[in-house]
Amino acid sequence: MILVLPVFFGCSSRNLRPGFKNEQEVLQRAWSYSVSPLSSEMHPGGIEYVSPVLHENTLLFGSSRFGSVSSYPEIKRVKWKLPVDNGVLSPLGVMNGQIFFTGGDGKLYSISSENGKTLWTYDLRNPVTSAPSMKGEDLYVVTSDDALLSLELKTGKWQWHYRRRNVSGPTIHGATRPLVVGDSVWVGFADGALVALSRKDGKVLWEKQLNSNKRFSGLNAELVESDGLVFVPAYDQALYALNSKNANPVWVKEGLGGSKKVTVSGGVLYAPSSQGKVYALDARSGKEIWSFELDGGVPSEIVVSDRHVMFGSTHEFLYALDRASGKLVYRHQVGYDSGFSGGLAFDPAKRFLYGLSRGGNLYSFSYSR
């Protein structure tokens, strides 16, 4: 039996900077929205893992408490709600007016971004926490029992699948989001293998064993491609930069692995580590520029603005660092053990930051230079 564990275990909360005072009000709290079940029969609560997503003039998010929501963030008005049995478990994907996610009812959903109506569902037969990927007319999703499915984007019709052998023992919450690289799909699995399959028929093109960690072997983080490199974090182990043409390692940084995707901006890679640190590296060489240790917990996915690096911790703080130096300039406390397991959404044009806390509170912050 596979035991799924949250990604913040082993990182207790502490205050490494007891006398710290914000140098500037980089973020100012604007409003918050408490996510609650639509009825007593809906899911009563639990940890929220889903990141909010900006789409056109709306803010989309999913909740394990009831389902999916679309809202107008500027006027704090809900556009529509879609109840889902046992809530939404995976990050949301948006393409061509369709929103894709997996629910606690074991189904993959395609819904309209305009009105929230269900367009089609595909029964995966068990809860799935990995985000679907969309490319052209195809959709790819990894199930909790390590199978990759290729579906027709518009209809949800099955096209092909690839099944990996199951791994017994504990695994980390979440799974790799499939990455389309040319005519192939790259996927990480619970046994620590990275596999490339043909988009046409699902045939294996190659596989590499990346994660040999005996405690947690899975590749759980979303893969990121940038400037000819694919970045693959292995939980509690290493961060790999692979050549996108042949998957050969360009550089490897031990101890910088994690379960969250990296962010690449301006030639710099920002990595949220499962060791409770954030690193800035030269994306081409892997050379460390700076590192920052959190007060507790592990970091969320990272948002990069023109001057700052922003992220949440799984425990209690929201951070803003100087982008060039990694120096802490702003820290906001959202409450002990009420941090962020999902990522943040940033609107650079309107200068607003949004985050859904583990406890189910959607926060809005205005951002200033």
How does 247-280 read in b/e, with b if 16+ C-beta sit within 10 Å? beebbbbeebbbbbbbbbbeebbbbbbbbbbbbb
Q: Which two tokens stand for residue 25?
A: 């009000």
CB within 8 Å of 224: residues ≥ 6 apart: 179, 230, 231, 261, 262, 263, 264
State how far the Cα of 71 lies from the Cα of 49, in Å rounded to an integer.
Answer: 19
CB within 8 Å of 306: residues ≥ 6 apart: 323, 348, 369
* CA 102 remoteness from chain centre: 14
pLDDT digits (tens, 9 = 90+) for 186-215: 999 888 889 999 999 999 999 998 866 556
pLDDT, position 2: 41
State how far the Cα of 220 lies from the Cα of 233, in Å rounded to an integer.
Answer: 8
pLDDT, position 175: 66
Structural domains in the chain, CATH included, are: 2-367 (2.130.10.10)
pLDDT, position 191: 84
State how far the Cα of 123 lies from the Cα of 348, in Å rounded to an integer.
Answer: 37
Q: Which residues pair with 102 in a beta bridge?
A: 108
pLDDT, position 37: 55
Q: Are 93 and 59 in contact (CB under 8 A)?
A: no
Q: Is 247 left (phi over 0), alpha (psi -120 to 50) or beta?
A: left
pLDDT, position 35: 74
Say if pTM beats, i.e. exceeds, 0.95.
no
| Low pLDDT (below 50) residues in the chain | 1-11, 38-40, 42-44, 170, 173-174
pLDDT, position 168: 57
pLDDT, position 190: 83
Q: Which residues pair with 82 in a beta bridge?
A: 68
State how far the Cα of 328 lies from the Cα of 225, in Å rounded to an integer.
Answer: 28
pLDDT, position 215: 60
